[in-house]
Amino acid sequence: MFGLSLIDIIVILAYFSVTIAIGFWAMRRIQNQEDYFLGGRRFGKFIQIFAAFGQATSASTAISATTTTMANGASGIWSTLNYVFGTPVLWMIAPWYRRLRLLTMGDFFEDRYGSKTMGAVYAIVSSVGFMIMISLGVNAMSKTIMALTPKTLDELSVVEVQEYERSLELDRLSQADYRSLTPEQQTRLDKLRLENPRNVFSHVNKKTLIIIVCLVVLIYAVAGGLEAAFLTDTIQGVFIIILSIALIPFGWAKINSIYGGEGVMGALTTIHQHLPESYFEIFGSPKTIDFTWYYVAGLTLMVTINLGVQANQLVTTGSAKDEYTARLGFTVGIYMKRLCTILWGVFALSAALLYGSSVSDPDLVYGYAVLDLLGPLKMGLVGLMIACLMSALMSTADCLMITSSSLLTHNVYRLILPDHSEKMYVIAGRVLGAIVVIGGCWIAMFFESIFAQLKLTWEVTAVFAACFWMGMLWRKANRRAAWASIIVTGITFFVIPVFLPAIMPSLRTNVYLLTTTNPAPLERYYTAHKMDVEARNKEISDWQLLDETQKLATPQPEPLAAGEKFSKIYKLPQKSIFWTQGIKEDKYGIPKGYGMLNAGLVVLDKAGLNLSDKPYAFNETLRVLLRVIVPFGVLLLASLFTRKDDKNMLDRFYVKMKTPAMADREADVREMELSLQSPGRFNYKKMLPQSDWEFCKWDRVSIIGFSISVLVAVGIIYLFLFLVSLGG
């Protein structure tokens, strides 16, 4: 069925049966909202580690790491590894979520700023953001499963054959030295890059597949709540680790069988000998337009700040039995993901050698590799890999669904209908959670680029990030300033970019807004590897087929030998400056902007920055930094010119944030009573006791844990550098 063997189907069905059974078992233990949304706050270190790992690791993480590494070489790993520099911060802020002692992150805005309406707005915006995050995982998983069920060339329709041939032409032109292309070929290359034709076609309909996945997530997560989600996360965490490791030895074995060589070092040496040297550049590869050092730095800053205000962080850490469990589980779980990211990047370099010339869409490479490497064994490993992908998706989707349903139930539904029973709120949570999952699947049907979705998920919480961080650390941050920051940021980065093109469709075809980067041809010097020699021989053959007029216009490529130094001219793709999903031709051949309008970049370009002359990575860095500077700048300025919030409310909030959360519920209640009776009892912990800043002195656990976390982060980077260098 669809190219899968019977044993593959049995493995998939067995996995889903166990998952759904867990959901219904957990459903019987739910008595109230805390049980459903936070698992009764009874989880220990082991469950917390895999919960953090599972909610941070979706099907999209393995696939997006493979996608960007395939397309950009080793530097593409930053699409997933950019979080690593901000991970030590998690050790410091994880106790915050447990000390809040709240059901949802929306409650924070009521607790700190005294505004239920702000909490409701946060709940709605966050739920939309979670729909996008769910859609990212669904889209990545569906693309991979589509690649697992491909049509053969004989099964393609006439239209699909024509598209397949255009994809081969695009690959040939992209790999050539730009100097060897005729003017007609250079124009053709630009046109094909706009179209981006497919070369893999599936038996499975994408929309049908998305609907099936949606139903499975709904059945077990809606029924069982957070306990079902975390228990399955523990199982799924094991599957995700299997996913991260399984393909690597099979890929190396195939490389050895094709190119010769023995063992691990034989395969790694072959990879270095055949792939261009540019594939092993961590920063500044000519193939990458996204991951320069300054873009990674800007992205790390934004992602670290925005990560703090994501509502699923409170669900993941707030469900721990005490704050040390929350801190340890969260940090270790996230570092487990970072290590898996390294494995995905290592596999992607193998995939680049094996499939770089046969699959034009890098989003499909992971699934294609699974089918090619594991399918011939007929051991159910393809089914196991599909189960791994499904488990990775579901471990994230269930946490996001529970988080969204808790936000919408507690901060919106309860605000409108405050006097319902606990049973009714749990039912409402299930219904609202189902709506979020369905919304995520609906969005997935309309997005094609996994990387475009990935960037959107990084940015969606920028609206509330300044309110969270400044609310935690500065007494002068007040309700009026918070609203100013939310409104200005929301209008600037989301309302105008989404609704202005909808109201004025002509903007999408406006000549100025279709401006692209105009990168000059880039010359790099390398030592020739076998793939470089093969590419040069192909260029020479193509040149010899040109007519005499074309030969006069195009210099003859010089022969190249392995080990010889040579230069190569790269023509980087022209990228849209103002449209998030780029520029494509519509069915009438008219160029059109897609996605959201980058209004901030329009303002900067009109101010004289002339962004078309800047590298694409520079423009993207500006776009990222604006999402940090604007919300924090507005909140700081507005707070300086408006009065503080109620002193008693602030005293209650900040003494609570200094009171350690304990596993013993009764002891924790007693400590909180003492704190509320004496709000100044922990003022000795403040670094600046006479100021409005609430930075606290670090205790021994904080210092040791943060130091170890920094060392681990540095170690992960050096591990990747070491693995990339092996065989070179």
Residue 363 pLDDT class (50, 70, 90 cuts):
low
Chain-centroid distance, C-alpha 329? 21
Which runs of E-coded beta strand occur in 64-160? none
Structure tokens at 591: 């160029």
Query: Rounded distance, CA 582 to CA 193, Å?
Result: 11
Residue 482 pLDDT class (50, 70, 90 cuts):
very high
Q: Are 445 and 207 in contact (CB under 8 A)?
A: yes
User: Buried (b) or exposed (e) across 367-382, using 16+ Cβ within 10 A?
Assistant: bbbbbbbbbeeeebbb
Q: Which residue has the tokens 């707030």?
A: 318
- Is the pLDDT at 592 greater than 80, yes or no? yes
Segment 143-162 shows an average pLDDT of 76
- Is the pLDDT at 640 greater than 70, yes or no? yes
In 3D space, the residue among 577, 565, 65, 75 whose CA is nearest the CA of residue 287 turns out to be: 75
Considering the chain, what percentage of its residues have pLDDT values greater than 90?
Answer: 21
**Among the residues of 196-260, which ranges form H helices?**
206-217, 223-259
- Is the pLDDT at 655 greater than 90, yes or no? yes
Q: Write the CA distances from 130 to 67, 436, 457, 461, 631, integer angstroms.
A: 22, 8, 8, 10, 21
Structure tokens at 105: 């992150």
Q: Are 111 and 411 in contact (CB under 8 A)?
A: no
Structure tokens at 558: 């010089």
The count of other CB atoms within 10 Å of the CB of residue 218 is 20
| Amino acid identity, position 546 | L
Torsion over CA of 479, 480, 484 and 485, rounded to 10 degrees?
A: -30
Query: Rounded distance, CA 709 to CA 335, Å?
Result: 9
| Amino acid identity, position 625 | L
Structure tokens at 164: 């397949």
Backbone angles phi, psi at 155, to 5 degrees: -90, -5
Q: Please, which residues have CB within 8 angstroms of residue 184's CB and are 6 or more apart in sequence? A: none
Out of 30-39, 57-66, 328-337, least confident range: 30-39
Predicted pLDDT of residue 32: 45
Domain count, the chain: 2
Query: Rounded distance, CA 237 to CA 220, Å?
Result: 17
The residue out of 444, 460, 476 marking a domain boundary is 460
pLDDT in tens, 691-702: 999 999 998 999
Q: Which residue has the tokens 């707070």?
A: 639
3-state secondary structure of 251: helix
Q: Which residue has the tokens 């449209």?
A: 579
Backbone angles phi, psi at 526, to 5 degrees: -140, 170
Predicted pLDDT of residue 30: 46
Out of 271-280, 458-467, 523-532, least confident range: 523-532
Strands 591-593 and 583-585: antiparallel
Highest mean pLDDT among 152-161, 392-401, 477-486: 477-486
Structure tokens at 508: 């999408």
3-state secondary structure of 33: helix
Structure tokens at 64: 């997006």
Query: Rounded distance, CA 314 to CA 308, Å?
Result: 9
Domain assignment present for residue 538? The answer is: no
Count of residues in the chain: 728
Domain assignment present for residue 410? The answer is: yes
Burial of 383 (0-12, 13-18, 19+ CB in 10 A): buried
Predicted pLDDT of residue 451: 60
Q: Could you say which DSSP state residue 516 is in?
A: B
Predicted pLDDT of residue 39: 45
Q: Are 597 and 500 in contact (CB under 8 A)?
A: yes
Mean residue pLDDT across the chain:
80
Out of 246-255, 436-445, 517-526, least confident range: 517-526
Segment 513-525 shows an average pLDDT of 80
Q: Write the CA distances from 222 to 225, 433, 468, integer angstroms.
A: 6, 7, 29
Chain-centroid distance, C-alpha 407? 22
Residue 500 pLDDT class (50, 70, 90 cuts):
very high
Query: Rounded distance, CA 346 to CA 388, Å?
Result: 19
- Is the pLDDT at 25 greater than 70, yes or no? no
Predicted pLDDT of residue 551: 75
The count of other CB atoms within 10 Å of the CB of residue 584 is 16
Q: Please, which residues have CB within 8 angstroms of residue 604's CB and are 6 or more apart in sequence? A: 611, 622
| Amino acid identity, position 5 | S
Query: Rounded distance, CA 135 to CA 390, Å?
Result: 13
Chain-centroid distance, C-alpha 540? 41
Query: Rounded distance, CA 590 to CA 509, Å?
Result: 8
Highest mean pLDDT among 72-86, 522-536, 656-670: 656-670
- Is the pLDDT at 497 greater than 50, yes or no? yes
Chain-centroid distance, C-alpha 306? 13
Considering the chain, what percentage of its residues have pLDDT values greater than 70?
Answer: 84
3-state secondary structure of 524: strand
Residue 354 pLDDT class (50, 70, 90 cuts):
confident
Domain assignment present for residue 316? The answer is: yes
Segment 177-184 shows an average pLDDT of 75
Segment 87-103 shows an average pLDDT of 87
- Is the pLDDT at 450 greater than 80, yes or no? no
Segment 53-82 shows an average pLDDT of 71
Segment 282-304 shows an average pLDDT of 74
Predicted pLDDT of residue 33: 47
Range of the domain at 218: 6-150+200-460
Domain assignment present for residue 478? The answer is: no
**0.85 exceeded by the pTM?**
no
Predicted pLDDT of residue 489: 95
Structure tokens at 224: 């069982």
The count of other CB atoms within 10 Å of the CB of residue 704 is 12
Helix (H) or strand (E) holding 569: strand 565-570
The residue out of 460, 489, 504 marking a domain boundary is 460
Predicted pLDDT of residue 514: 92
Domain assignment present for residue 700? The answer is: no
Residue 426 pLDDT class (50, 70, 90 cuts):
confident
Query: Rounded distance, CA 132 to CA 141, Å?
Result: 14
Backbone angles phi, psi at 591, to 5 degrees: -60, 140
Highest mean pLDDT among 183-197, 300-314, 316-330, 466-480: 466-480
3-state secondary structure of 667: helix
Predicted pLDDT of residue 37: 45
Domain assignment present for residue 86? The answer is: yes
Structure tokens at 525: 């010097």
The count of other CB atoms within 10 Å of the CB of residue 16 is 17
- Is the pLDDT at 182 greater than 60, yes or no? yes
- Is the pLDDT at 512 greater than 90, yes or no? yes
pLDDT in tens, 211-246: 877 777 776 655 555 555 556 666 666 776 776 677
Structure tokens at 689: 């006791």
Domain assignment present for residue 114? The answer is: yes
Sign of the CA dihedral with 383 first, then 385, 387, and 390 last: negative
**Using N-to-C axis directions, what is the helix angle for 59-72 and 223-259, rounded to 10°?**
30
Domain assignment present for residue 546? The answer is: no
**Using N-to-C axis directions, what is the helix angle for 323-355 and 365-374, rounded to 10°?**
80
CATH of the domain at 39: 1.20.1730.10
Q: Could you say which DSSP state residue 304 is in?
A: H
